[in-house]
Amino acid sequence: MDAAAPTPPPAGTGTGTAAAAAAVFPPFPAGYSKFNSALNAGLLNPMSPPPPPIDRIRSSPTLFEMMANEQDCHPRNQIPPLPALPAPPGAGRQQQQHHHHPQLMTAPPLSAQERQLLLQERVAEILGSCSPGNQLGDQETGDVRLTLTSRDGLTVSMAVHRQVLVAHSRFFAAKLSDRWAKQQQPQPAPPQRGGATAAAPHHVIEISDCDDVEVYVETLRLMYCQDLRRRLMREDVPKVLAILKVSSAIGFDGGILSCLEYLEAAPWAEDEEEKVAALLSQLRLENSGAGEVLKRVSLEVVPLAADERGTAGTGGEEVLVRLLQVVLEGKDEKARREMKRLVSKMLRENNSGCGGGAAGHGGHGGGDLSKESLYAACESSLRQLRHHFLRVAGSDLAEAAQISRQADNLHWLLDILVDRQMAEELLQIWAAQAELAAAHPRVPAIHRYEVSRVTARLLVGVGKGQILVGKEARCQLLQTWLEPFYEDFGWMRRACKGLDRHLVEDGLANTILTLPLGLQQEILLSWFDRFLNSGDDCPNIQRGFEVWWRRAFWRRNGDPDRPPRQLRIVAATSP
């Protein structure tokens, strides 16, 4: 049965009601009463939460609450800041000086004392890395005190052994000879109490103005090694060169031979070749085997017989001619393109090293190609191009691919000749190929457009002043090849990825503008009609047309009364 609800107190019993309410409900805290009074007075925002009671003691947090709030107090990935180190005296003043000049904040140079300490530490590391049983630096058994002083005043002293130095070094053998030792022998110390005598005296040797004290110590360590070659395998080429220089200075033959064997077998970086060759030439170690090392960077030239000197070039030129021939006859097109770039780079470097084309006028520039060799290769490529081109013009398409191949070879050789300023004769040879130009319309455009690239390269060379020939040669070039060039321009523009259309157009315009004014008018008016009917398949030489127009029809300042020329334009009808 449900319990009966409590009966409310009757009205009119105020005192009893208050007492009963006080008995049932506890009194309000004092803090809440103050908050209610402030709220009624309008001093607080009604939406603000009430303040916590001041007379209520907050209980200690539980373990779960502490774990939940730990990440808020101390983020897991946050590293607590390290305590600040005390600043050295004057650091604040230096910081103020460098505040406005960040570029001045550089590490101060080491003092002489600091450099001396660093040198001693490095020497101690070298001595500490010696193999067991190595007595280099042993104070107890060493009978020679060796002092090494660098050019900047750094000094290192160490104990060495007279027997080891004399056996390995001619320099120390002379210094520690019996006669020298007697002169340097100090007087024996008087006997001490109990009959004991003083320690054996040491010989003292000082070497000043050392290039590198560490290298001297490294060289001395090699004298104590049983297998020098194995020890040098841990070093690099610059360190071995430094050890070789010290070994040569002190007459350490074992070190010299070991360093030369290392240099002969180890690979060199490109910037190390000059250092190796220069040092070996400076030390003059031909009798010690330096010639075997230098064979890597020098070629022995075999003298030719008297009857062979007129027909054969130098050894370097023979190699270049062979490389040129292999590239021209290669079968893989991708490999041919890569090797063409490589050979062009080498020839360009050779040409600049020989004085910029000094070998180009019939002479031999050491390891460079002569003009005769280059033109022999051009004639061979042109002869094969003519053969295949005429066969394809006769409807024999079996060798059509050879047209593009030989034209590309001729274009590459032309680039080399232009770079060496020797392309004038090739322009004249190309301008005289009337038979080849006459057969041009009978060859499909897909096979013949590479031939017009040769014409385009010649036009660029003339237009840029790279090829200087007479007026007759320029006129013959345009008369023979301008029409085939027009016909193939659209194919060149679409099929040749590396073709610079604007460069070719400027070359053609400038070449035309080098001709007499009457020929300019004839060629440019013909181009005007072709361009209106062909559009992008015709080169745009509008700039050259404007120059010709101003030359021909503008009044000159010195002749204001000169009547203008009569321009006659005949529009050609398309078939």
Query: What CATH number has the domain spanning 113-183+202-225?
Result: 3.30.710.10
The SS3 of residue 362 is coil
CB 216 within 8 A of CB 207: yes
Which residues share a beta bridge with 148?
A: 156, 207
**Residue 191, token pair as written in the block:** 């006997």
Instruction: Confirm if 457 and 413 have CB atoms less than 8 A apart.
Output: no
Residue 271 pLDDT: 87
pLDDT value at residue 17: 43
Going from the C-alpha of 185 to that of each of 190, 202, 203, 204, 351, the distances in angstroms are: 15, 8, 7, 10, 65
Which residue from 359, 267, 286 is spatially nearest to 316, judged by alpha carbons?
359
The whole-number pLDDT of residue 105 equals 53
Q: At what angle are helices 445-463 and 371-393 packed, to 10 degrees?
A: 150
CA-nearest of 399, 406, 482 to 443 is 399
Helix (H, G, I), strand (E, B) or coil at 169: strand
The DSSP bridge partners found for residue 146 are 158, 205
pLDDT (tens digit per residue) in 394-416? 988 888 899 999 999 999 999 99
Q: Could you tell me the pTM of the whole model?
A: 0.60
**Average pLDDT, consecutive stretches of 10 residues, N- to C-terminus, the chain (575 residues):** 43 43 47 54 51 50 54 44 44 44 59 77 75 71 87 84 90 78 52 48 79 88 87 90 93 92 89 90 83 78 44 67 92 92 88 54 58 95 95 89 94 95 96 96 93 96 94 96 95 87 95 94 95 91 94 64 51 46
Q: What is the pLDDT of residues 376-390, one digit of tens each?
A: 999 999 999 999 999
Domain ranges, ordered by start, for the chain: 113-183+202-225, 370-553
